[in-house]
Structure 1
């Protein structure tokens, strides 16, 4: 892991889950900025204290990876005076959040993990999600200020985006994976699983705790499957970034210049 302590990454909130800083890692270009790159789950349940915490981050842009129906069902409140640009697309990035799509009635924990791993084979190629990933990298190359990227649970669509950014700036693969896996230990895990479980159970009915925890967690093979699929379809992860998401060498250079110190 990077020299940056894991605890320093956590943005402590009562009702915004999986909220953390994904900067601070060493790269081949220097160090990725701290206090500049944030990721989280959705903010629908945020209370006043949480919103004050968000306000204090000085965000310039928020990239909301949720689809139209997800945003309609769970609109995110914003702090008073909040003037960050909100980037979203009026379409569906996925039919439902990946962990909900992967759920099946009466599935075991092993089946849940296999279903999530399988979802990563196709998730990076959802056309609307690719449009949002493109916008994410555009904003990172243009905006002089902190950004936040989130989806529903802040672990799959967001996890892929963050890992791709780490790849772009040459964060060590071990640090990239360690950051991805922080989802499993960051914040109030029990509250996060309960929050995610509400969405799953609303669509699938009752489910065992073990299966639900598997759906709400991440595993190395999930991200590995996503990267493998990118390489198979585009020749490499860099091919996916350049051909699929428009991360040209020039854009990569601008991102590196803005985000590393």
Structure 2
């Protein structure tokens, strides 16, 4: 199966929820490039899938998963195809609906936590995009939560409007539909009821809207957030230049 781009989606053998951030209009009248690619876990990739990444000039992968996740679901050796993998865990203790201790407070509250506990990971993403050759793919497990925050930060930095950022986030639920039949039985086996298990794959618009409000109220913008977590002005400029054309 060759790489097929349907809208922004990339069909890889085998990965889910893979799509670039290109083609979105910006406030400056430009358009986002396809340099940055978001994805769910790549542990299912075949050799052909790795070849497809290399054909798309993806030379760097940023993995937001924890050590335990990486050990459990190992990504095939991408170095054979000239692709380096940068490990940048957003958290080490599971903060998803599956791993959250006690009552899950909702994604908006958890995403606000990600901005704090994941500061080093998001700083690594900014710095990697600024310096890397070729395209950069970033991912977590489902490509929705940790990855969704990263995509929102990049799109906001590029000057994409909030409605479009929210729409990009909600597309995840549609693209993860093929995984539902696999994930829901597994979650039920772990003792989670149907509603909480289904929440793993949900991407409600209101959660990203609330996250963007939090970003504005606490930091002002993705650019100010990047500065607050230690990203240099030169790096911010370089990232914006790579993201827009």
CA contact (8 A) 1:231 1:239 kept: no
CA contact (8 A) 2:50 2:81 kept: no
Separation (CA, whole Å) in 1 of partners of 2:70 and 2:186 = 13
Q: Which residues of 2 match residues 155-234 of structure 1 at below 5 A?
A: 155-186=144-175, 189=177, 191-197=178-184, 200-201=187-188, 204-208=190-194, 210-234=195-219
Task: Give 5+ residue unaligned stretches, structure 2.
Answer: none
Separation (CA, whole Å) in 1 of partners of 2:42 and 2:114 = 23
Q: How far has the Cα of 1:232 moved from its partner?
A: 4.4
Separation (CA, whole Å) in 2 of partners of 1:92 and 1:160 = 11
Aligned residues: 240
The SS at the match of 1:185 is: helix
Q: Which residue of 2 aligns with 1:100?
A: 98
Q: What are the Cα deviations for residues 50-107 of structure 1, in whole angstroms up to 9, with x where unaligned?
A: 3332232221211100111111111101457322221114x67241252423487xxx
Q: Which residues of 2 match residues 1-261 of structure 1 at below 5 A?
A: 7-13=6-12, 15-27=14-26, 28=28, 30-34=30-34, 36-78=35-77, 81-89=80-88, 93-96=91-94, 98-102=96-100, 115-126=106-117, 129-186=118-175, 189=177, 191-197=178-184, 200-201=187-188, 204-208=190-194, 210-234=195-219, 236-246=221-231, 248-261=232-245
What is the root-mean-square deviation in Å for CA atoms of aligned residues?
2.7
CA contact (8 A) 1:60 1:83 kept: yes
CA contact (8 A) 1:21 1:38 kept: yes
CA contact (8 A) 1:64 1:151 kept: yes
CA contact (8 A) 1:55 1:82 kept: yes
CA contact (8 A) 1:227 1:237 kept: no
TM-score normalised to structure 1 length? 0.80
Separation (CA, whole Å) in 2 of partners of 1:231 and 1:244 = 15
The SS at the match of 1:229 is: helix
TM-score normalised to structure 2 length? 0.84
